[in-house]
Structure 1
Amino acid sequence: MDFLVAPLTIASIAGGLAALISVVDKHVNDYGDVTIHINSDKKNLDVRGGDTLLSTLSGEGIFIPSACGGRGSCGACKCKVVTDVGPHLPTEVPYLKKEEMAENIRLACQVKVKKDLELEIPEELFNVKQFEGRIEKIRDLTHDIKEVLIDIGRESIEFEAGAYVQLVVPPYGKIKDVNQRAYSMSSRPSDKNHIELIIRLVPGGIATTWVHTLLKEGDKVDVIGPFGEFRRSETKAAMVCVAGGSGMAPFKSILYDMYENNITDRDVWYFFGARSLKDLFYVKELRDLEEKWPNFHFVPALSEPNPDERWEGETGLITDVLDRYLKEVIKAEEREGYLCGSPGMINACNNVFEANGMDLDKIYYDSFA
């Protein structure tokens, strides 16, 4: 692990310096009132200069995706800044392709609002809202995964199955700042007054520690969304879906949405990987769905089943199980891949898909660190 220490140390120092410079700049320099022109003057904002573009926009009710809450560590808050605001910063470069940099794509959390700006952002972001909710129910799905149901009352959230929201985490303990983390919604789009999340405990994780140790039923929470482009296509191709752990969330939403809307003529294969039986959940629910939906096939697999668990299902790495099914079982000529998990898991599955003749432009994914 020594090879990780230097990059992580440098990233930590750079992040600290960026935060310090931001604070000093905000208090020392007064940039006055400025105007932000969005999408060729479809929306104009008169704001006070001095803060980041991400924070300034959110203060005006326009929310750019930011899985890290504006700390410059996720690269999600991309937008096109037409106005010349100087060269790309070292904190932006790792998250931008050369083509994006050539088109003036910037990270909104790293651009300071110092003068009038002209921006281009996706129109759908105008519909993103901040919801004030209440925790209606928290349920343990496994030893380290919780299902969190949020009631947003009279508010109504409109989203496509597969979308995500950003959960606002208040200061607690040694965490002095407000944070945001992105989580896919597992709730069905038909339930417009609730947001359901599946959250796995990550050791040391700011948001997951808060959810697993402090969050209680009845607590008030803020949620921002919906965001994201992960959704099923409108084709008739067979859907080959792969996930593990909290990657279950978008697929639960997508599958039940398809069933509710009678989109059941497509062949759907859902491969779900877990280490042992204690890491599996929603098995009964998905088996019940399988009985009602002949074209839906649920394939859970355990990589390290305990001998006393009497597991009779698939065993081995989920990529090995996927490879065998693509070679021997799934005979559809047209196939699409849908993945939700870590970058490593997605890359491994992409290799399997490619080896079995599937084009990468037909693979859709929801990646998380």
Structure 2
Amino acid sequence: MQDERFLAEGVVEYVGQPIAIIAGESREAIRQAKKKLRLEIKELVPVFTIEEAISAKQFIGTTRRFKQGNFEKAWSEAEHTLKGTFICNGQEQFYLESQAALAWPGEHGEIQIHSSSQNPTEIQEVIAEALGLGFNEVVCVCKRMGGAFGGKETQAVIPAVMVALVVAKTKRPARIAYTKDEDMRSTGKRHPYKIHYKVAFTADGKITGVKFDIFSNGGAGADLSTAIMERTLFHSENAYFIPNLIFNGTICKTNFPPNTAFRGFGGPQGMANIENVIQEIAIILKKDALEIRRLNCYSHDERNVTPYGQIVRNHLLPEIIDQLVETSGYRQRLIEVEDFNRQSETHLRGLALTPMKFGISFTTKFLNQGNALVNIYKDGTVQVSTGGTEMG
């Protein structure tokens, strides 16, 4: 979904959004040029929270839904039910090297660019589109990054286009490097989530049905929010079989920088929610949460179909849990933790053994590929080129 402008047009949608590009031969020259700018901006009512976006009906894309079985029937017939809200806030990637790019003119109008990017192909394509060039006229190289963690999958594009535009206009090399403050102000983070849950379960802790209404804070543009929400839905049952379920995923549009990829790509928020649900069930039934996890985890011949129809094959999930309980001394350590908590007036300890199922593919199917070029030279040396980037 291409809804993000390179420079603000008509409306400034978030603090840190680029409005103009200033190029100079020194930092001091740029500072002096900035002082001459006069911006006339009328203050509008901002939308910052998920609740405010829902009230204003500001969303990105359509609501995604997974449905399996009959949740309403499971809810009405349940021995026990549980309702609540799980809140998971955002997170800054905090890569040590901030967003940076260096570009210079090549022959015949070509642009050569070194970008601190996880996605050199996107840098190439967006610069070509912005400058009216062919893809073959833009060469993007990423030697290595000083950290990324998802924050340079798409967000490296804006600084790269800035320097490319300066090169195209001046025919001189250009470089940009955000300060850490500028980077944190103007780039997206891990998505904050708010999830309303309803859960039906038996007296022994077996989950018979769940309904999750999942809302993420997407910021001012789509970026990767739709794919991240889809991955959340794919991971909202984590490693547990749930026969009756409804997952609704909605992305809220707010006045923050467009939120983006971060390690796990939406999976951690979905998994954290179901683990919270299991902990709540354990509290209600006065059981250890591991007992609830073991009871509900995917098995082999039955109870092994995901909400998206995939059969979970060739796994050892129950066996691994049972083995780890024994080899880790889990039960004895849990007794020690509980004894400590009863006696301590200032500190609390916790212990958990939690399974995880994590998908390795993309919902954007063409991304599920890899490539490498190996050149073997006459002297026996080898040169390898791959489609991967070095993130430090």
Pairwise same-fold verdict (TM > 0.5): no
TM-score (norm 1): 0.24
More strand per residue: 1 or 2?
A: 1
**Larger Cα-atom Rg:** 2
Larger relative contact order (CA 8 Å, sep ≥ 6): 2
